[in-house]
Amino acid sequence: MSTLIDELVFFIQRLDWLSLLDLVLVAAVFYFVLSLVRGTQAAVLMRGMVLLILVITLLTTLLPLPAFSWLLRTALPALLVAIPVIFAPEIRRALERLGRAGFLRSLGQASTQIERTINAICSASGRLADHRHGALIVIERENRLEEYLDTGVRLDALLTSQLLLQIFYVNTPLHDGAAIIRGDRIAAAACVLPLSAGGTLSRSPERQMGLRHRAALGISEVSDAVAVIVSEESGAISVTHNGRMIRRLDLNRLRNILTAFYSPSTVRLLPMWLERLLAERRRPTGTDQSD
């Protein structure tokens, strides 16, 4: 332990402004990489790898383990080759996100846009419930749903209540399956979602819980998405999140729940405080701040 402390003291004593600049650049690179993989499965794997590396480093530094150290030095080249193979899908998706998003896409997103999105979902859900037209609307949040978008029909259309009503009109080609919303756009429709493996629905006394409800629970179990379900049999509106379902909602409760949960997925390449500062500077002078 004393050896580690001595090395830290020696490092701090040799620290100068050029070394600080070097550390800042390295930290910026790591922050940029973490921003790209944010919301993907690679982020979870990366956390596990960082924790494993820290534990191994502490073991080899504090304890004399020559055989273990030799094993690590021997396996390191193979790990460097395996990492790109393991993370290949996540790396591709991260680069696609960067190419689509640009550098400043997430700066100062207007709250009115989120409000319009929630209004469109609530309006469509109310009219679908009145006519007892079944619907499954999935709101993408931090976790990307690319693999489920690929199972449906890509739309990339501006979200409106009229479009949602048309998608879930009975016997239309896109009626079956889920509509996935990304930001203020309908990314795809007729998407196939994973069914819930839990027993929540089987224990429910209500018989109107069908495939839509199981699919809504399933997507909430494998991601942080929020799903809105309109029952075709009863017209009841439900919401699922984090493997749980809230049933028998009226439009006011639905609006409150979506307002609490809904947060469009964005690519943040700047700290949140800097994004807010830039958003305030871009706001026109004289704008009412109480909205």
Label each residue of the chain as H, E or C.
CHHHHHHHHHHHHCCCHHHHHHHHHHHHHHHHHHHHHCCCHHHHHHHHHHHHHHHHHHHHHHCCCHHHHHHHHHHHHHHHHHHHHHCHHHHHHHHHHHHHHCCCCCCCCCHHHHHHHHHHHHHHHHHHHHHCCCEEEEECCCCCCHHHHCCCEEEEEECCHHHHHHHCCCCCCCCCCEEEEECCEEEEEEECCCCCCCCCCCCCCCCCCCHHHHHHHHHHHHCCCEEEEECCCCCCEEEEECCEEEEEECHHHHHHHHHHHCCCCCCCCCCHHHHHHHHHHHCCCCCCCCC
* Whether residue 187 sits in one domain with residue 234: yes
* Whether residue 152 sits in one domain with residue 74: no
Residue 161, pLDDT score = 94
Q: What is the pLDDT of residues 61-83, one digit of tens each?
A: 777 777 777 777 777 777 767 76
* Whether residue 255 sits in one domain with residue 118: yes
Average pLDDT over residues 224-253: 91
Residue 239, pLDDT score = 95
* Whether residue 86 sits in one domain with residue 153: no
Q: Which of 14-23, 42-51, 273-282 has the lowest mean pLDDT?
A: 273-282
Is residue 270 in a domain? no
Q: What is the pLDDT of residues 121-154, one digit of tens each?
A: 999 999 999 999 999 999 998 788 888 999 999 9
Average model confidence (pLDDT) for the chain?
Answer: 76
* Whether residue 150 sits in one domain with residue 81: no
Q: What is the pLDDT of residues 22-33, one digit of tens each?
A: 888 888 887 777
Q: What is the pLDDT of residues 200-225, one digit of tens each?
A: 554 454 444 688 999 999 998 888 89
* Whether residue 137 sits in one domain with residue 256: yes
Predicted confidence (pLDDT) at residue 236 exceeds the cutoff of 50: yes
Is residue 282 in a domain? no
* Whether residue 146 sits in one domain with residue 73: no
Tally of domains in the chain: 2
Q: Containing domain of residue 8, as a range?
A: 2-101
Predicted confidence (pLDDT) at residue 178 exceeds the cutoff of 60: yes
Is residue 116 in a domain? yes
* Whether residue 91 sits in one domain with residue 136: no
* Whether residue 222 sits in one domain with residue 96: no
Residue 42, pLDDT score = 61
Is residue 175 in a domain? yes
Q: Tell me which of 231 and 202 has the higher pLDDT.
A: 231
Is residue 284 in a domain? no
CB-based contact 265:140 (threshold 8 Å): yes
Is residue 189 in a domain? yes
* Whether residue 224 sits in one domain with residue 158: yes
Is residue 289 in a domain? no
Q: Among residues 101, 127, 157, which one ends one of the domains?
A: 101
199: left (phi over 0), alpha (psi -120 to 50) or beta: alpha
Residue 101, pLDDT score = 47
* Whether residue 116 sits in one domain with residue 88: no
Phi, psi dihedrals of residue 212, rounded to the nearest 5°: -60, -45
Is residue 160 in a domain? yes
* Whether residue 125 sits in one domain with residue 245: yes
